[in-house]
Amino acid sequence: MVFPKRDFVSIDDLSNPEILALFTAADEFHGDLRGFATQCSGSILATLFFEASTRTRLSFESAMLRLGGGVISATEGASTSASKGESLADTVRVVGGKYADLIVLRHRDEGAARVAARYAEVPVINAGDGAHEHPTQTLCDLYTLWKEKGKLQGLEVLLAGDLKYSRTIHSLAYALARFGANLVFRPFPGLEIPESVLVRLERDFDASVRRARVGEIKGLGAGKDAIYVTPHMPHQNSLFTRIDDSELDRIDAIYMTRLQRERLEGDEDPTGRRDYPTLAPQQFRGKRFRDTRIMHPLPRVDEISYDFDDDPRALYFRQAALGVPIRMALLAFLLGTLELGVPAQEPEEGVVYRSAVGLRCKNPRCVTNAAAEHYVIPEFRELRSAPPLLRCSFCDWEVEPELTGHAQSRRLHRSNAAEALRILPQRRVYFESEGQAVEAGFGNP
């Protein structure tokens, strides 16, 4: 194992040089899939999948078996002690104790993989945490695109479909921005990319995000890393027809996603699946689309016509196939049998704020708000101290706490008041409301 252990929870846990070095290693594995059968012999991988999966779990298991290791697997919440009320922390402590040398986890709560990484002794790989991130799918996507195009920098990539709940989109957008690709977001109406993702793209990945309406994006591309297109026609044409009107001079890849039906909430599906777009070869006849690659993490439902499957521009089955060698490279790296010899990712900067009372993450799907994981203490990284701006360490949602209390005097101030700003960071206790502060015993006489 690499010491100290490395986890892969967010795409931001690997540096660009590490990702490129993994591609080189994956090429070697890909060239001789049966030739590395002792690389990880003696090691055991545990796949804990509390949400449905075909490709991710099986390609991880195949990768581990091809490296000569063993695999143990729990695939349904219902068949594990999670259904008896066991916490994620206890599960991974046990599995990562003596059962396995590495854990791959898929879980419905956003930030769950970070919690697992904190409690497991062994490296944890995030195979999808709710709608948050799916960094190993991003490795497959980037690796495939890099092999096809020979580079990532400067590529024009259009991300389309359900951008709100597709975790694959979020991790991919971060990575593409960091490698210097240009992004255009084309959401299905009502399923726009979350604000938390756009903010993080700008803050952590140096992307400059421009917002435009369909029909307005021509000319915005130059010098911009990401264009966020607001759809204004509630039907499928708003996504694609204007592209034919040469809004973009070139599209290197279109990354399509399915409607994440299982995550829709309330009245989020007013239009029904009828209106969700389907990509078909006849939409991509122009010269500008000659080199456009059609990508999809799969499973496909109806978003890409089967007529596309034999088109040389269709990459989705290739993405799935390359999942094995790239995951072999990742497993070998985290188990310490593959050295990358390049600089690792710098640790995140900023003071960490942690408190069992007061401020909570505002994301209802965050693991810190899940009843089963009530032991997880809310934790935030301070992005700005005056006035305070905090980001949840688990799901990355940002929050500006209204009130700041003094841990000893228990006096309460508006967060932007001079008195609040004078409190030393380690003495601050943040609150969202006066009611919350009073409940915790804070207030002014």
Of the candidate residues 6, 66, 132, 258, the single one contacting ligand NCD (CB under 6 A): 258
* Residues from 304 through 363 that contact ligand NCD (CB under 6 A): none
Number of residues that bind ligand NCD (CB under 6 A): 12
Give the nearest distance from C-beta 194 to ligand NCD in angstroms.
Answer: 15
Say which of 30, 47, 56, 132 is annotated catalytic.
56
Given 111, 123, 128, 378, the residue binding ligand NCD (CB under 6 A): 128
| Of the residues 55, 210, 263, 318, which one makes contact with ligand NCD according to CB under 6 A | 55
With beta carbons less than 8 A apart as the criterion, state whether 281 and 310 touch.
Answer: no
Edge-to-edge strands of the sheet including 398-399? 352-354, 379-385, 388-392, 398-399
Q: Does 298 bind ligand NCD (CB under 6 A)?
A: yes
Of 30, 167, 186, 391, the one binding ligand NCD by CB under 6 A: 167
Any catalytic annotation for residue 273? no
| Stretch near ligand NCD under the rule CB under 6 A, chosen from 141-149, 294-302, 343-351, 364-372 | 294-302
Distance CA 167, CA 175 (A): 13
Q: What is the spatial distance between Cα 270 and Cα 215, in angstroms, rounded to a whole number? A: 25
CB of 288 to ligand NCD, least distance (A): 27
Active site residue 134: yes
Binding flag, residue 297, ligand NCD (CB under 6 A):
yes
Q: Which residues contact 111 (CB under 8 A, 6 or more apart)?
A: 129, 130, 132, 366, 367, 368, 392, 393, 394, 395
Neighbouring C-alpha atoms within 13 Å toward the C-beta of 232: 10
On the CB side of 63, how many CA atoms lie within 13 Å of its CA? Answer: 31
Smallest separation (angstroms) from ligand NCD to the CB of 49: 10
Instruction: Output the CA torsion 66→72→75→78 (10° steps).
Output: 170
Segment contacting ligand NCD by CB under 6 A, of 28-36, 295-303, 338-346, 434-442: 295-303
Token code pair at residue 390 = 């905090």
Whether 56 is a known active-site residue: answer: yes
Which residue from 390, 364, 432 is spatially nearest to 111, judged by alpha carbons? Answer: 364
User: 192 vs 402, which CB is nearer to ligand NCD?
Assistant: 192
Read off the tokens for 195.
């604000």
Smallest distance, Å, CB 328 to ligand NCD?
17
Residues that bind ligand NCD (CB under 6 A): 55-56, 128, 134, 137, 167-168, 257-258, 297-299
